[in-house]
Amino acid sequence: MKKILYIGNNFTKKTGYNSTMATLSQLLEDEGYLVTRFSDKKNKITRLLAMCMAVIIKGKKNDFILIDTFSTVSFYYALITSQIARLFSIKYIPILHGGNLPSRLDKSYFSSKLIFNNSYKNIAPSIYLQQAFKKKGFGTCFIPNGILIEEYNYKQRSVIQPKLLWVRAFDKTYNPLLAIKVLVELRKKYPQATLCMVGPDKDGTLGEAKKLAKKLGIYMSIKFTGVLSKEEWHRLSENYDIFINTTNVDNMPVSIIEAMALGLPIVSTNAGGLPYLISSNIDGILVNINNEQEMADAIIKIIESPSKVSELSQKARLKAEKYDLEIIKNQWLDLLT
C-alpha cells in the first residue's frame, strides 16, 4: 500500500465546502492509497505548526508528500513544509492553486526556486498556470481538476428565464458584489430577474453583499444560502438558468466545470485561466473583469437566443466530460507509481 501525506487546508468537514484536497484524497483512497491529511486547525500559526510536525514525524513513513500551494499566506506553508521535506530527503509534489500564483513567482522568485526547483514534480491544474511556470523555468505537469461526471444530471436548457446562480466563497478576490450589480442592470429589462448566491463567507464580503443589495433595493430578489453540499447545490441549480462567475483572479474553478456538467449556460469574467477553460461563444461567454453592464448584456443576449442556449449547454456538457475523474485519475496513478 502506497502512503501519501497531504499538506493543505483540510476544512471540508468543518465547513462543508468541498475542496481539491477532499476530492483528490478520496480518489487516491479509492485506488488503495493511504492518505493522511494536515491540517484542519483554524488558527494559521497552529495550522502551520501541525503541518511542520506532520512532515517531521510522518514524512519518512510516506512515499510522497502532496502540498497544496497558493499565492497568499498559504504560499509560506508550502515554502516551509517543502524545505523540511528537502531536509529529510522526502519526495514532495506542489499542487498549484490560485490565479495569482504567476504574480507570486515575480514577488518571491528566490522562495519559488527553493520550492519548485527541488520538487519531485510540480502539478498545474490548468494550462494557464503550466505556461506561467514554464516561462519562469519551472518544469510543470498538467493534471486538471476533475469531477465524477456520473454524479451530474444534465438538464438541457433551451428557453430560459433571468434566474442567475452564483457559487463561490464570499471573498473580495471573487468579486461577489459584481453579481449584485449585474442583477440591478438585468432588472432594468427583466424586473422579475433573481439571483441565488451559494457559498461561505471568507473575509466579511457576505455582509457587504447583503448591505449593497439592501441599499440598491433588490435584497428580496436575492437568495443567500450559505454553504451547501455538492448534492444540495446541484439540486438547487435545476431552479436556475444561467451560471455567473464574477471573479477578478482565477485559475481553473471546479464550480465552472460542475456548471458545465449540469447544463447551465455560463457567463464569466475572463480572469486568469478562465479563457483556457471556457471557449467564448462556444461553451460559455467571457466578458471583461468588473464590468456589470457587459455581463448583463451577455446574459440578455443568451436569454433572447434560444438556439444559442441549447448550443452553449450541449457543448459545455461535452467539455465537462473531458474532466471526468475516471480519466484524470490515471494521470495521478502514473505519477505516483
Tens-place pLDDT, residues 125-171: 999 999 999 999 999 999 999 999 999 999 988 789 999 999 999 99
Tally of structural domains, the chain: 2
Q: Do residues 20 and 122 both lie within one domain? A: yes
pLDDT, average across residues 209-214? 98
Residue 16: the pLDDT is: 63
14 pLDDT above the threshold of 70: no
Structure confidence at residue 20 as a pLDDT band (50, 70, 90)? confident
- For residues 328 and 337, give the distance between their C-alpha atoms in angstroms, rounded to a whole number: 15
Is residue 334 in a domain? no
- Number of residues that make up the chain: 337
- How do strand 34-38 and strand 64-69 relate by DSSP bridges? unpaired
98 and 185, same structural domain? no
Shared domain check, 287 and 223: yes
19 and 126 housed in the same domain = yes
At residue 118, the pLDDT reads: 98
Let me know: does 118 contact 102? Beta carbons within 8 Å.
Answer: no
Q: Examine the domain organization and report whether 204 and 96 are in the same domain.
A: no
Closest CA to 65 of 74, 73, 56: 56
Task: Place 299 in a pLDDT band, splitting at 50, 70 and 90.
Answer: very high
User: Position 313: which residue type?
Assistant: S
Return the closest-CA partner of residue 55 out of 82, 35, 79: 82
Residues 116 and 237 in one domain: no
CATH code, 238? 3.40.50.2000
- Quick one: 202 and 303 in the same domain? yes
List pLDDT tens digits, range 257-276.
999 999 999 999 999 999 99
Give the C-alpha separation, 66 to 77, whole Å. Answer: 12
Query: Do 86 and 175 fall into the same domain?
Result: no
Checking if the pLDDT of 99 tops 90, the result is no
> Would you list the DSSP string of 202-225?
SSSHHHHHHHHHHHTT-GGGEEEE
Q: Looking at residue 114, what is its pLDDT?
A: 98
Domain identity same for 205 and 249: yes
pLDDT at 158: 78
Residue 174's alpha-carbon distances to 37, 107, 178, 206, 290, in angstroms, are: 27, 22, 9, 11, 10
User: Could you give the maximum distance between any two Cα atoms of the chain, in Å?
Assistant: 63
The percentage of residues in the chain with a pLDDT greater than 90, rounded to a whole number, is: 91
- The boundaries of the domain holding residue 103 are 3-143
